[in-house]
Amino acid sequence: VNVLRRRCLQGLLGSACLPWQAVRAGAPVVLRLSHVVAQHTPKGLALQRFAQELAAISAGKMQVQIYANSQLLSDDDEMQALQLGAVDMLAPSLSKFGRLGFPEFELFDLPFLFQDAAQVHRVMQGRVGQALLAGLQRQRLVGLGYLDNGFKHMSANRALLEPQDFVGQRLRVQSSRVIAHQMRALGAQPVVLDFGQTRRALAMGVVDGTENPISNFWTQRMHEAQTDVSLTSHGYLGYCIVVHQRFWQYLSPLQRAWVEQALQGALAWGNVQAQQRNTEDLQALRASGHCRLHTIHAAQRQRLRQALEPVYQGLAQRIGPQWLVQLEKERA
């Protein structure tokens, strides 16, 4: 599958002549959008909704072609494809922007920082969130908004509730230095893997466990490859919608307004869906009887939080302490 996808990418990049520039006069503008999760996830659903809204608002003059579930591009390939114009829009998790040269995005990965989605939204809408979007122009990207998935939980073939439970575990992580540091601070070994490879890596025992919101865990059938889910809610997973400036400037002011309007509606709707999907998928996981579900007690949470203090210091050293100071002001 990987070879096939790589050939596909090479094919796309080989013809990366910005296909939207070559459209016939009067033909609809087709916006190509790639992502790595299943259709029936918060992100999958919100982006389908965006496609519907954009088609409706533009009376069919703009259409969205969605490539879901890493079918076209993996985590590793998608940003390169956007830079080269082989796709037009992406919605990577905030955790994946650090590796691309935007380490400030990893603020959202800090463990036990946010208590609920309302706190996350205050930061996104405040100066920190807006500064992050503005900073994307350093790589000629335009940030068009944020979308929730939800809070992540730990899974493995054992409960992961106390720092000592993590020792020696090989845990799949996204390509975020904060998340890798989080796992190391608990004595685990972080293994960076593309999302699309994670389920197989769990099933083959290449890694022992991972962290996910339940919607991603359930829709990738990771429950068939893990015996225990610890409901730690230790970190947040959300997304940033990005396009390349070249594509954005190619659109007319009216087309840009349509995209913004459609996104605004779809992202607000998506955030409501995200809560619902994670709740319903947790019920389905519970009912499936596949995994033991563990709740975390306040004292366990406190011990994990304490062991993770160096992660905060590490990020503050890398991006400067002022980011965390500002975030603290806005979160409250």
User: For binding to ligand LMR (CB under 6 A), which residues are involved?
Assistant: 36-37, 43, 93, 149, 174, 195, 212, 216
Chain centroid to Cα 11, Å, comes to 26
Q: Tokens at residue 186, please?
A: 């608990």
Output the smallest distance, CB 248 to ligand LMR, in A: 22
Asked whether 272 and 204 are in contact (CB, 8 A), the reply is no
Quick one: tokens of 309?
Answer: 């203090």
Residue among 43 and 223 whose Cβ is closer to ligand LMR: 43
CA gap 31, 187 in Å, rounded: 44
**Structural tokens at position 50:** 């965006």
How far apart are the C-alpha atoms of 90 and 241, rounded to whole Å? 6
Tell me whether residue 105 or residue 258 sits nearer to ligand LMR (CB atom).
105
- Of 198 and 300, nearer to ligand LMR (C-beta) is 198
22, amino acid identity:
A
Of the two residues 54 and 214, which places its CB atom closer to ligand LMR in the complex? 214
Least distance from ligand LMR to the Cβ atom of residue 199, Å: 11
Q: How far is the CB of 195 from ligand LMR (least distance, A)?
A: 3
Nearest to 63 by CA among 88, 86, 82, 93: 88
Rounded CA gap, 130 and 323, in Å? 12
Residue 106 DSSP class: G
Closest approach of ligand LMR to the CB of residue 9, in Å: 18
Q: Which CB atom, from 169 or from 212, has the smaller least distance to ligand LMR?
A: 212
| Distance of closest approach, residue 194 Cβ to ligand LMR, in angstroms | 7
- Residues 59/254, Cβ–Cβ less than 8 Å: no
- Dihedral of alpha carbons 133, 154, 302, 149, sign: positive
CA 24, distance to chain mean position in Å, is 35
d(CA 55, CA 29): 10
Q: How far apart are CA 85 and CA 194, in angstroms?
A: 22
- Among residues 42 and 314, whose Cβ is nearest to ligand LMR? 42
Residue listed under structure tokens 């409501």 = 272
Least separation in angstroms between CB 255 and ligand LMR: 26
CB of 37 to ligand LMR, least distance (A): 5
Indicate the residue among 29 and 147 with the shorter CB distance to ligand LMR: 147
Query: Measured in Å, how far apart are the chain's first and last C-alpha atoms?
Result: 46
Q: Which is nearer to ligand LMR, 182 or 212 (CB)?
A: 212
Least CB distance from residue 263 to ligand LMR, whole Å? 17
